[in-house]
Amino acid sequence: MDRIAITGGAPLNGAIAIGGAKNACLALMPAALLTDEPLTLTNAPRLADIATMRALLESLGCEVAALNEGRALAIGAERIASRLAHYDIVRKMRASILVLGPLLAREGAAVVSLPGGCAIGARPVDIHLSGLEALGATLELRDGYVHAEAPGGLKGARVTFRIVSVGATENLMMAATLAKGTTELVNAAKEPEIVDLARCLRAMGARIQGEGTDTITIEGVDRLHGATHRVIADRIEMGTYMIAPAIAGGAVEIVGGDRALVGAMIEALEEAGVRVEDTERGFSVRREGDALKAMRFATAPFPGFPTDLQAQMMSLLTQAEGESVVSETIFENRFMHVPELARMGADITVHGGEARVRGRARLRGAPVMASDLRASAGLILAALAAEGETVISRVYHLDRGYERVEAKLAACGARIERLKD
């Protein structure tokens, strides 16, 4: 298993280009199941999670070609050879549940493994399932699998989500494109990845309105066709690299930076004393003066502060003057990075969903372990500011969502290398 070694203390100066969004691409790929014509996705990120979704789609009979060195994916689902999403693939990645809606809509039947919990929380899929039932599917849970049927096809309905769920909104949007009649999704997620999926589905012939608001309306059509769609920029990668010069010093231009995607993050950074200035290619980020200021923030659905940037922002706040308060409202167990940051000298206490971060801790390099994707990114950022060497193990978590992280940071002056075991 690879590890990453970082010797902290070097300021970062340069430019970092942002790739296509993992979480958008993971929802766009299963959309290919809705049509027998090819769907081509450009600006695709080259990540482990994308390879996992590719393997899952291939196991269902899709043909997937990687073009332009993997930056574009052409996915053809001319014939669905299997309706079974096997546990062996689904357990690797929760987004696998996103094949359920499209398979059911196109084939009238699907058997999909339940994804199970993960480090950040239990993450049930009840909202996905009750939504599909509202569209007329019959579901049965057997041996860890969801057995879903809709022999006469799905039927449009009004579905009110109990809580805002990105994945359930995506699954239902896709399922509803081929349902008979109109579906209204109420209390829908408003994340940019939802908007991106709606645009792609529309390019495929779907009739969708209201994406980006809390009510999405989908008028079912008889069939969808192929399309080419460009994946939006990864706002979580963007936010992660915005913190790098803020914590390590220096100034980094985020190429492809887009304020509309990271508004809450920019607000939080500015409150902490970080300056964000527009450039022709995006924006540049640097710390204002020497000291960062403590602040409080709570994670929330878009346009609120993203839970996927909470760990990274917490690393930054270990270096702020005073006590910061971080509330995690989306996942019940997303503070796995705290004990690892403590090993590096951070002073953080957690009570329930709230972490109190006392700055300005003197961070020192230590061996630490990545527990999940964004926790790994938080540890990398903390290591950039720590004295001495930090070695992060289990970086396969990081590889799920960050492409060439060592190369991108090293190009800005970070002393970082991947240790191959």
Ligand X SMILES: C=C(OP(=O)(O)O)C(=O)O
Looking at the annotation, which residues are catalytic?
118
Residue with tokens 């494109």: 177
124 binds, among ligand X, ligand UD1, none (CB under 5 to 8 A by kind): ligand UD1
CB contact set of 221 (below 8 Å; sequence gap of 6+): 177, 178, 205, 206, 207
**Interaction pattern, residues 298-317, with ligand X; x per rule: CB under 6 A:** ----------x---------
401 binds, among ligand UD1, ligand X, none (CB under 5 to 8 A by kind): ligand X
Residue 95 CB, shortest distance to ligand X, in Å, is 5
Indicate the Cα dihedral angle 292, 295, 298, 299, nearest 10°: -10
Task: Enter the tokens of residue 295.
Answer: 């602040």
Residue 7 CB, shortest distance to ligand X, in Å, is 27
190 binds ligand X (CB under 6 A): no
**Of 163-171, 180-188, 240-248, 344-352: span binding ligand UD1 (CB under 6 A):** 163-171
Nearer to ligand UD1, 128 or 408 (CB): 128
235 preceded by a cis bond (ω within 30 of 0): no
Q: Determine the Cα–Cα distance for residues 67 and 405; give it in Å rounded to an integer.
A: 22
Q: Which of 8, 45, 136, 167 binds ligand UD1 (CB under 6 A)?
A: 167
Nearer to ligand X, 131 or 167 (CB): 167
**Interaction pattern, residues 214-253, with ligand X; x per rule: CB under 6 A:** ----------------------------------------
CA proximity to 240, closest of 306, 191, 309: 309
124 binds ligand UD1 (CB under 6 A): yes
Q: Which of 185, 401, 408, 414 binds ligand X (CB under 6 A)?
A: 401
Instruction: Specify the length of the chain in residues.
Output: 421
Q: Determine the Cα–Cα distance for residues 369 and 210; give it in Å rounded to an integer.
A: 42
**Interaction pattern, residues 270-309, with ligand UD1; x per rule: CB under 6 A:** -------------------------------------xx-
Cβ(123)–Cβ(115) below 8 Å:
yes
Task: Enter the tokens of residue 300.
Answer: 């929330």
Residue 401 CB, shortest distance to ligand UD1, in Å, is 8
Q: Determine the Cα–Cα distance for residues 300 and 291; give it in Å rounded to an integer.
A: 27
Q: Which of residues 20-39 bind ligand UD1 (CB under 6 A)?
A: 23, 26
* DSSP-assigned beta bridge partners for residue 146: 112, 141
**Residue 363 C-beta-side C-alpha neighbours within 13 Å:** 35
Nearer to ligand UD1, 127 or 295 (CB): 127
121 binds, among ligand UD1, ligand X, none (CB under 5 to 8 A by kind): ligand UD1
Task: Enter the tokens of residue 332.
Answer: 């019940």
Residue 308 CB, shortest distance to ligand UD1, in Å, is 5
Q: Which of 244, 373, 382, 412 binds ligand X (CB under 6 A)?
A: 373
Nearer to ligand UD1, 94 or 106 (CB): 94
Q: Determine the Cα–Cα distance for residues 22 and 234; give it in Å rounded to an integer.
A: 7
Q: Determine the Cα–Cα distance for residues 8 and 108; give it in Å rounded to an integer.
A: 55
**Of 72-80, 90-98, 256-264, 273-281: span binding ligand X (CB under 6 A):** 90-98
Indicate the Cα dihedral angle 160, 163, 164, 170, nearest 10°: -60
CB atoms within 10 A of CB 185: 27
159 binds ligand X (CB under 6 A): no
Binding site for ligand X (CB under 6 A): 23, 93-95, 308, 373-374, 401
